Chains A and B, each alone.
Chain A
Amino acid sequence: MTPFTYQRPAELAEAVRLLAAGAATTKLLAGGQSLLLALKERTLRPTCVLSLASLGELTGLRTAADGCLDIGATTTYAALTRSTFSGWHAEIAAVAGNLADRSVRSLATIGGGVCQADPRFDMPTLLTAAGARMRLVSASGERSLAAEEFFDPNGGTRMMASEILTRIWIAAIPALDGLAFEKFRFRAFEAAVVSVACALKLGSDGRIASARIVVGAVAKAPLKAVATAATLVGLRPADLRVEEVGARVAAEVAPLRAGQTLRQCYQSELAICLTARALARAAAQARKH
């Protein structure tokens, strides 16, 4: 075992200071569902483990005055599942309640999962489609990043080593008219082979004003099918040919190529049907408004 210092500051300011002092070899501990496994397998050997467990600023789930959902980074998936959300916000609870297994969900946090940024995880895909923002705090101040900037296309996140993710902000209900997430995995409890999230916003004419289609696990970060999504603008949700859209999404973000592995071919096929399902559900939600 590589000896390390364990610290559990009571204030965010102290956590930020400790992190600044030893950022390169310090690991933040939230639910530990990734970190503790890595410590056990000896793939990570930090000199300091900094627990976020006592930081009140990272806990809690609130709705701000303007209707934004303000989620503390150390909120567990289980806590999200137990919370009541309205409208398309409920998809966050649904996704939180259907990933990994019950014991993991009781400890793992939405912030931890997002910082780990494993492409097979569900939240990065969902939050990118939802247009979430991540609030980051360090000794030099604070900033926020949109989800699509937060995840690095080469893998991981664009967080600095000295930053702590404190809050995740989800837009108020009126920002979207439908949000749906779909995934495929071989076995219960395991990570997704492909995940897709679709977000739709309608104009006052009932036609699609903007759309986001995000595909996870086919690359090192969630991929947005920008071109295909753009073609949905102006269409009525009821007129969407979802399988056809799915085929174009797959061609855009996970095209079939010579020399691909069986798994990559399969992911391309799955992107079609998962997009179709997610889009159909998002469209159905949108039509209800």
Chain B
Amino acid sequence: MARGDSNSMNAHPTPELGQAGCKLVGQSVPRTEDLALLTGTARFIDDVRLPGMLYAKILRSTSAHARIRVNVSKVAGMPGVHGVMTGPDLVGKVKPWGDLMQDLLVGDHFPFAIDKVTFEGQEVAAVVADTKYQALDALEAIVVEYDELPVLVDPEAAIAPGAPLIQEGINYEFGEGNIFDRYRVRIGDIAAAEASADLVVRQRFSSNRQAGAALDPHGCVASYDSFSGMLTVYSSTQSIFMVRDCIADALQLPRNRVRVVAPAVGAGFGSKVQMFAHEVIASIFSMRLGRPVHLVLGRAEIFKCGTARNGQIRHAELFLKKDGRIIGYRDYVIQNSGASSYWGNQVVHIGTNVGLLPYPIPNLHIDGDIVHTNTAPGGALRGFGIPQIIWAKEQLIDMAANALGLDPLQVRHVNTIKRHECPVRTPIGQVVDSTSIDECLQRAADAIGWADKRAHRIPYEGVGLAISMKYTSCRHPSFDTDLSAVRLRLETDGTVTIFSSDVPHGQGHATFLAQIVSDVLGVGFEKITLAPADTANSPFGLGTYASRAAAVLGTACRTAAERLREKIVAIAAHVLEADPRDLETGSDRVYVRGLSDSGLYLENLAGFSAYRTHQLPEGFEPTLEAVATYDTPTEREGPDGSGNFSVTYAGAAHAAHVRVDPTTGRVTILDYVMAHDTGVVINPLIVEGQHQGGFLMGIGMAMGEEYVYDAQGRMLNASFAEYQAPSAADLPELTKLYEIPAPSQTIPGGQKGAGESGTGPVPAVLGNAIADATGVRFTQLPMTADRILIALREKERSKLKVFRYPDDMPDYTGPRDHTAWPKPTGGEGNLFV
């Protein structure tokens, strides 16, 4: 779907739906979700209204690290108040939960702080009242005494000897103190690689904490029915079964008495892929009062507690031969995961492993310390660790190319996996079934005018490249599964309902799943509906994250549709007295091949199998439902960090042409190219939307967003007014998006994930382009206009030809070269104690 012009409608012709022989998979079918979204009729969590509903609000810590005492005595008589709760009330009544690391529960999560807070924004108390304003008034009557403890904002300070302990009383399997997990990769022989390398490039890179910034806030409505003993929780979440099972476990309820329903969910990006305290708090209030309780978070709360991308410090080294071949990579990662464990550590494990692609590096020596600080918890976020390592690795590539006098395009080309080499197992163990990444690289370079721009330099203009690959779903690190499931039901009037528990939140499930079902069953597209995700009737599945929907859910859906088709054809064969092998489906009918104007309407066939079961063949099971699952054939991480975590890998090659204004530091993106391998694309319109969204998140990470904390761990920019997420008006128009498919050889339909591919390369592309334009090499994110301008001024004063920001600033206090780098805390001993 190359686009040479900016008119997107011309590039996505609307197919004629329902025509026999017209396959919908591969077509840009307009999304069925959009009408409700554009007319404001979609119901999000804040729109949920139940009879008798009350409103709860949470009081959150204003200190980042303190012992606390909470006095709620003034709340009871206040207008409209029905209840108040604090941590000590729940000790022994609610089971702690938390990250599962290698099957062991960390258990550092509880609905409230009990006697100590570990981050600003941690839950301290909650009130439920008739209206949310009465609840807010009651919060103001709660008195919290804070005995301040020393605050750790910086992860390096948190692992220094003598640093105060943040999470007390928890024994970690692989860590101690404020290090709650360690990571280690040992592949090949790094010492030999270092000895035989012609060039080693080394640089410390740091990356920023970034918010999910889903416009739909985190929140829930919990409704306990005391007559049936059923707790129903409506939640803005990405995974209904995870929430159900965690709430049931925390509250010690049977899982068949807990129901979780997803309303329309307005994005998550990974920030809604865990259970949160507010879901437990609302549930407890509802169970006490027997009334529905609405608890939706405000934006400042979400910034402070809603999980964000983990910032990392990487001490990265690339070992190369003089022809540009990479022979080794060494790295020491310190990740700032915030105050508690929420997928923080897996970002290092999975992100580092997959972020090494597309280079099959033979010798690897990587250590990671995954650290708690008194800041907002870090979790899953679009890219899941890949953008952070690509930021380092793809800039090292350019630095190496410059040092060797080679073209950075050539260095990437020499190292990347080629299409004809696939399937290939890399030294760290990834099995890449197919890829077009090298062709994507060439296309991106051509489309940006790489050779020409480098040959005819214009002051303060530059070009940059970066490539990355992204896993399409992943073996769940805490369990041992990567499961999605679909149930299809042919209703008695020939319409079809799709049931799935993978919550759609922008990926267009209702559209692309219907495309698959329509093609397989021959049912008209408009006759197919996706039911809302609801644990009461959806089959068990893991949720929507990790770019898994099209490949994993899509495969489950296709299989279910094929099973249903078999049943339909068997009935039709009986009714039409034909051989099933002579039958086709299409245009809402089953008909004998060659006689497309005859046959049996699915509407009649469905009625037959419901109301005339006595006329069905002997032994035929009437129900026109089919369930199918798909669980990807992947591996878990080995002790040496090796493994193939994903069934297939998408590819992304980006190129940027930028101009830097030397009077203001402002960067203008003059041109931007994205060439992707998304395998077989089910719906090009949806995939393009995902790439655009991935790019936007990458731009925010690269050019503006970060969590700004003061020395006391208070966030200074916890609002959209201050937090520098780009708006539509700030972004370049994307006119050069290309798909170069290398269909997956493992996913039956050939599709690969798209949700996160667009984010990985962006910060590195822009870092490389800005370095090319100005000679300033950023080693820190974000690259804001003020930093760029100050770096330019300092570069002029210092007369350095290549100036690193912030490393070469006179007031920089960090290590300026690798001789001053810290050592990993884990040593070489056995990680498993």
Binding site for B on A (CB under 8 A): 1, 42, 184, 186-190, 193, 262-263, 265-266, 269-270, 272-273, 276
Contacts and interface: CB of A to CB of B under 8 A. Distances in A.
Given A1-B133, A184-B664, A186-B704, A266 B729 contact: no
A263 B666 CA distance: 14
Interface string B234-266: 000000000000000000000000000000000
A265 B140 CA distance: 40
Contacts of B786: 193, 262-263, 265-266
Contact of A262 (B663, B666, B729, B790): B790
Contact of B663 (A1, A188, A263, A273): A273
B14 to A, nearest CB: 32
B704 A189 contact: no
B664 to A, nearest CB: 6
B790 A187 contact: no
B692 interface: no
Given A187-B730, A262-B786, A269 B793 contact: yes
A184 B789 CA distance: 13
7 contacts: A1-B137, A42-B136, A184-B664, A184-B666, A187-B729, A188-B729, A269-B790
A190 B727 CA distance: 11
B664 A270 contact: yes
B640 to A, nearest CB: 42
Interface residues of B, number: 22
Contacts of B665: 266
Contacts of B721: 190
Contact of A266 (B724, B726, B789): B789
Given A187-B729, A188-B730, 9 more contacts: A1-B137, A184-B664, A184-B666, A186-B724, A186-B785, A187-B724, A188-B727, A266-B790, A273-B664
A198 to B, nearest CB: 17
A71 B314 CA distance: 58
A190 B720 CA distance: 10
Contacts of A276: 663
Contacts, number: 44
Contacts of A188: 727, 729-730
Nearest to B786: A266
Interface in B780-801: 784-787, 789-790, 793
Interface of B: 133, 136-137, 140, 663-666, 704, 721, 724, 726-727, 729-730, 784-787, 789-790, 793
For the complex of A and B, 3 pairs with smallest distance between CB atoms: A188-B729, A266-B786, A273-B663
Contacts of B137: 1
Contacts of B136: 1, 42
Contacts of A269: 663, 789-790, 793
B73 to A, nearest CB: 21
Contacts of A186: 704, 724, 784-785
B669 to A, nearest CB: 14
A265 B663 CA distance: 13
Nearest to B729: A188
A62 to B, nearest CB: 34
Contacts of A272: 663
Most buried by A among B664, B724, B793: B664
B792 to A, nearest CB: 9
A186 B729 CA distance: 12
Contacts of B784: 186
Q: Taking each of A186, A190, A265, which has the highest tally of chain B beta carbons within 10 Å of its own beta carbon?
A: A186
Nearest to A277: B663
Nearest to B661: A273
Contacts of B729: 187-189
Nearest to A270: B664
A12 to B, nearest CB: 33
Contacts of A266: 665, 785-786, 789-790
Nearest to A276: B663
B700 to A, nearest CB: 11
A270 B790 CA distance: 11
A265 B794 CA distance: 11
Contacts of A190: 721
A161 B625 CA distance: 73
A248 to B, nearest CB: 16
